[in-house]
């Protein structure tokens, strides 16, 4: 069964939603075959696979290229394209044009945009024009310069109230689900209980309706420390590095290729 934004929304109050990022057809096919219902082509790809320091330099062309690859690797999962920095902030018209490109050219099923109440007009316009939207509040990495770093959000009661208002506004605007990033678990749970759309947490506690993690963090692929909210299910970096080193040694010593690899 191909997942749609509507079907994912119906999971509210039922089975929890496991979401993962993927950036290419190969990893998307693995994630899809594992039964993950929704794949996010996150702009985190800027840091995880493109070598940027932050998500800010990621361009529309890069996101379109990777989203199209993910869509080619998927049979059932919902493919959500993350709209990169400055592809939707300047105007609703630009947001519509770029979100349209994700659907028309890259075959995304939905888009994700960061921001709360102040982004409601954009979310509404996208939804009205047939493009399902996943919201994203809390720690929003595209505002990292204004936030002053990757910090937990909503610790004070004033901030928590603002995030609750933002969540309500995003739901009201028509988003089918909402990512809650880096906030105290009690706030994640309170927001989740107040909304009729599913919340997808990342560092927002177990009270959310689902969770999202970055594929390369989950599998320990980077060889670098991961955030506290990540549970690693494998440690692939040293495994891959030692396999590559073994290949180099075999070529240098002449033990590869052997007769069995010859025609
Ligand atoms: O870019 C990304 O991967 C994200 C998720 C981690 C929520 O925005």
Instruction: Summarize pLDDT for 86-141 with one digit per residue, the tens.
Output: 999 999 999 999 999 999 999 999 999 999 999 999 999 999 999 999 999 999 99
| DSSP string computed for the chain | ----HHHHHTTTTSSPEEEEE--SHHHHHHHHHTT-SEEEE-TTHHHHTS--SSSTT--HHHHHHHHHHHHHH-SSSEEEEEPPTTSSSS-HHHHHHHHHHHHHTT--SEEE--BSGGGHHHHHHHHHTT--EEEEEES-GGGHHHHTSS-----SHHHHHHHHHHHHHHHHHT-SEEEEES--HHHHHHHHHH-SS-EEEESS-TTSSEEEE-HHHHTT-SSS---TT---S--HHHHHHHHHHHHHHHHHHT-SS-GGG--
**In a domain? residue 254:** no
Beta carbon of 43 within 6 Å of any ligand 1 atom: yes
- The verdict on residue 245 lying in a domain is no
Res 204: pLDDT: 98
Tell me the whole-structure pTM to 2 decimals.
0.97
Testing ligand 1's pocket by substitution, the residue of 23, 40, 180 carrying the most ligand atoms inside 8 A of its CB is 40
Give the count of domains, the chain.
Answer: 1
Active-site amino acid positions: 181
Name the pLDDT band for 181 (thresholds 50, 70, 90).
very high
Query: Going by CA atoms, what residue is nearest to atom 8 of ligand 1?
Result: 42
Write down the mean pLDDT value for the chain. 98
In this prediction, residue 40 carries a pLDDT of: 99
Tell me, using a 6 A CB cutoff, whether residue 21 lines ligand 1: yes
Q: How confident is the model at residue 37 (pLDDT cuts 50, 70, 90)?
A: very high
Is residue 214 within 6 Å of ligand 1 at its C-beta? yes
Q: How far is the CA of 251 from the centre of ligand 1 (A)?
A: 39
- Give a yes or no: residue 167 inside a domain: yes
CATH number of the domain where residue 150 is located: 3.20.20.60
How far is ligand 1, taken at its centre, from the CA of residue 239, in Å? 25
Report which protein residue has its CA nearest ligand 1's atom 4: 42
* pLDDT on residue 214: 98
Q: Please report the pLDDT score of residue 64 as a whole number.
A: 99
What pLDDT score does 123 carry?
98
**pLDDT, position 2:** 98
Q: Does 260 reside within a domain?
A: no
* pLDDT at residue 262 in the model: 95
Query: 127 in a domain, yes or no?
Result: yes
Could you tell me if residue 231 is inside a domain?
yes
Domain of 76 in residue numbering reads as 5-236
Which pLDDT does position 220 carry in this prediction? 98
Quote the percentage of the chain above a pLDDT of 70.
Answer: 100
């Amino acid at each position: 069964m191909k997942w749609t934004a509507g079907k994912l929304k119906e999971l509210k109050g039922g089975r929890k939603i496991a979401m993962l990022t993927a950036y290419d057809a190969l990893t998307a096919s693995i994630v899809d075959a594992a039964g993950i219902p929704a794949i996010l082509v996150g702009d985190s790809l800027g840091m995880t696979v493109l070598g940027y320091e932050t998500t800010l330099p990621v361009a529309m062309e890069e996101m379109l290229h990777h989203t199209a690859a993910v869509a080619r690797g998927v049979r059932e999962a919902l493919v959500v394209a993350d709209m990169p920095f400055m592809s939707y902030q300047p105007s609703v018209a630009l947001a519509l044009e770029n979100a349209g490109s994700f659907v028309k050219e890259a075959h995304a099923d939905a888009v994700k945009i960061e921001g709360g109440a102040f982004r409601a007009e954009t979310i509404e316009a996208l939804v009205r024009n047939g493009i399902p939207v996943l919201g994203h509040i809390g720690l929003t990495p595209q505002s990292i310069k204004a936030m002053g770093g990757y910090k937990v959000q909503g610790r004070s009661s004033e901030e928590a109230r603002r995030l609750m208002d933002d969540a309500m506004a995003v739901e009201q605007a028509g988003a089918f689900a909402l990512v809650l990033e880096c906030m105290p678990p009690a706030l994640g749970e309170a927001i989740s209980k107040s909304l009729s759309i599913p919340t997808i947490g990342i560092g927002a506690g177990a009270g959310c309706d689902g969770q999202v993690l970055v594929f390369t963090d989950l599998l320990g692929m980077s060889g670098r420390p991961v955030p506290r909210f990540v549970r690693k299910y494998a440690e692939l970096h040293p495994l891959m590095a030692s396999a590559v080193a073994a290949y180099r040694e075999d070529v240098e010593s002449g033990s590869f290729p052997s007769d069995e690899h010859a025609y």
